[in-house]
Amino acid sequence: MSYLRTAILLAGLTALFMGVGYLIGGASGAMIALVVAAGTNLFAYWNSDRMVLSMYGAHEVDARTAPDLHRLVADLAARAGLPMPRVFLMDNPQPNAFATGRNPQNAAVAVTTGLVQSLNREELSGVVAHELAHIKHHDTLLMTITATIAGAISMLAQFGMFFGGNRNNNGTGIIGSIAMMILAPLGAALVQMAISRTREYAADEMGARICGQPMWLASALAKIDNAAHQVPNMEAERAPATAHMFIINPLSGQGMDNLFATHPSTQNRIAALQRLTSQFGGGGFAPPPSAPRDGSGSPWGGAARPRGPWG
């Protein structure tokens, strides 16, 4: 049902985009708007991952520079039946993560230094599994397309304000243009956010199945949500349009599922994971991922927290 809802919302976003084009230039305006959107999306299809990773100063790590993190991602990707994604680390104190890439063969998982320093291995497994679920569901491409169309709608609405649409510039035309400039971007943002929230619930469930324990992810979500209210993410503040990509809203961490939230309520997500645990008897879905050990009893080579080779 979530896939059907996503398709309906995406269709509504596309229709809204073409509607704005029609108001500006009639039937020909709608077609021109569609062509422009196609070109913009084509560019985003090939370059969006590099753009967003560069925006957050992410640097790629491998089995040599971050062996524990790289091994964990490899274990979970194999369990999910996915190709090994590229792994990136962002030098940011706020614990958070996102996935990007146009398809599973060209995907990347990016985590912050704050994430690997504040979560234990089980919690980090839950977060990485959630991001791999987005890759498996092709959400990374979907969210790029919705963000691009939403941005194009805002641009067209402003263009229509300046040129007064395809009608004469009488009082009604000016009022209609102002209304379009305000309502069209608002409608696009609402649809974009609704799609994002729909996909987050689906990624939580799939991520829980990939890592094997829903409560690992639930515990991680609680920690990240708490930190997001206290530790600023300055890169995200400068580029709020990318906030929907993160596992938790890096801007404010909304407290309820209101129309303007880019993410579902963290409490609601945790409750859904708790129900999932009860549904399967609390025993998980698969054995935990393999973990390197040094004899200390901790897969990180320490008592409780990950340390060392994060790049």
Task: Name the residues annotated as catalytic.
Answer: 131
Q: Phi and psi at residue 59, in whole multiples of 5°?
A: -120, 140
Q: Give the DSSP per-residue string, 47-80.
A: HHHHHHHHHTT-EEE-TTTSHHHHHHHHHHHHHH
First-residue to last-residue Cα distance in the chain: 41
Residues 188 and 12 sit within 8 Å (Cβ to Cβ): no
Query: In the chain, count of helices (H) and strands (E)?
Result: 9, 4
> Phi-psi bin for 287: left (phi > 0), alpha (psi -120 to 50), beta?
beta
DSSP character at residue 84: P
Amino acid at position 156, single letter: L
How far is CA 246 from its chain centroid? 4
Q: Phi and psi at residue 17, in whole multiples of 5°?
A: -60, -45
C-alpha to C-alpha distance for 284 and 276, rounded to whole angstroms: 9
Residues 204 and 130 sit within 8 Å (Cβ to Cβ): yes
Beta-sheet pairing, 59-61 with 86-90: antiparallel
How far is CA 127 from its chain centroid? 12
> Does an H or E element contain 99, and which?
strand 97-101
In terms of Cα–Cα distance, which of 77, 78, 109 is closest to 96? 109
